[in-house]
Amino acid sequence: MKNIRLIIVAAMLFAMSLLAAEGWQLDSDVMVNLTQSSYSDNWTGSELSNITWVAASNSTAQKQLKEWLKNKTSLNLAFGQTHLQKTDGNGNKYWEAPEKSTDKIALESLLQFTLQSFVDPYVAGRLDSQFLDEQAGQETFLVNPLLFTESAGIMKTILDLEKTKLDVRLGGAVRENVDRRLDDVPVDGGVEGVANFKHVFSALNASYNSKLTAYQALFNSKSDELPNEDWKALDYKWENLLTFKLWKLLGVNLTFDMIYDKEKAPEAQWKESLGLGLSYTLF
């Protein structure tokens, strides 16, 4: 299994290196949002100063490598922190150490075999991680844990228009969670379904991206050691990003993510953020 993971990573790096070649359709943007509030020392309310910043980038590269083979590689990065001001027992104000508000690394490379049939076979590799793995009283790790997902199956492009794109895929998948805090690597496998949707609102100078991923585990290498059978529950993740370009580099972006993983939480979790800041389209 380790060899498979190394092959998938090498394939991802190779696909990214191809960006230097001609003929790639590139789509990339960078966003930086900053929220700040401050109050005078004689402010009568209980409000305290705070600063929140988030930097994010979303990049996609795709190319028809051969008549029968197409590659699409995407890289999504985001990191942000919140700085809060507190008051001690003597009424003196101080700034706490910053806390993470956003942390995401997602790299995926997909090979689609375009055989001009009703559905196309595909193979894909995905890496999900975070920049900082911080746990109270423990060592902080960079880029940890690393969740590798290797999948293969069939896919169908439902819409491929100038402003609207939709594709779905269904296949088998194997996941490996490499965590430097653990001595071994838990592995599970099952069925995965993914739907990607994108629409461009030209009149509003806006775009909407949505991705829905569902995963049903069928086996788990640690099933005999786990306290329950929560690993058998259906996992899903729904990611949404709506961006508006207001004026030159000024933009607004709204993100909404919903995640259900019964092993981590008994109910669905969601996160929403609305930001106004600098937005720049690289390609």
* N residues, the chain: 283
pLDDT at 262: 95
Q: pLDDT at residue 21 above 60?
A: no
Classify residue 231 by its DSSP letter: G
Confidence at 195, pLDDT banded by 50, 70, 90: very high
H or E stretch at 55: strand 50-66
Over residues 226-252, mean pLDDT: 92
At 10, is the pLDDT very low, low, confident or very high (cuts 50, 70, 90)? low
pTM of the model: 0.88
What average pLDDT does this structure show over 162-179?
96
258 and 270 Cβ atoms separated by less than 8 Å: yes
Quick one: pLDDT at residue 15?
54
**Confidence band for 95, pLDDT divided at 50, 70 and 90:** confident
**Domains in the chain: boundaries:** 2-38+48-281
The pLDDT of residue 49 is 83
| For range 74-80, the mean pLDDT | 94
CA angle in degrees (0–180, nearest 5) for 233-239-243: 170
Arithmetic mean of pLDDT over the chain: 88
Provide the pLDDT for residue 281: 77
Q: Is the pLDDT assigned to residue 3 strictly greater than 50?
A: no
Domain 2-38+48-281 has CATH 2.20.200: no
Q: Over the stretch 142-154, which tens digit does the pLDDT of each residue have?
A: 999 999 999 999 9
pLDDT greater at residue 282 or residue 3: 282
pLDDT of residue 8: 54
Q: Please, which pLDDT band fits residue 246 given cuts at 50, 70 and 90? A: confident
* 22 φ/ψ angles, rounded to the nearest 5 degrees: -80, 160
pLDDT given at position 183: 85
Amino acid at 244: F
Q: Position of tokens 């993470």?
A: 100
Residue 71 CA to residue 69 CA, distance in Å, equals: 7
Both tokens of 5, joined, read 């993971």
- Give percent of the chain with pLDDT exceeding 70: 89
Name the nearest CA neighbour of 120 among 88, 185, 72.
72
Q: How far apart are CA 10 and CA 141, in angstroms?
A: 23
| pLDDT tens per residue across span 107-142 | 999 999 999 899 999 999 999 999 999 988 899 999
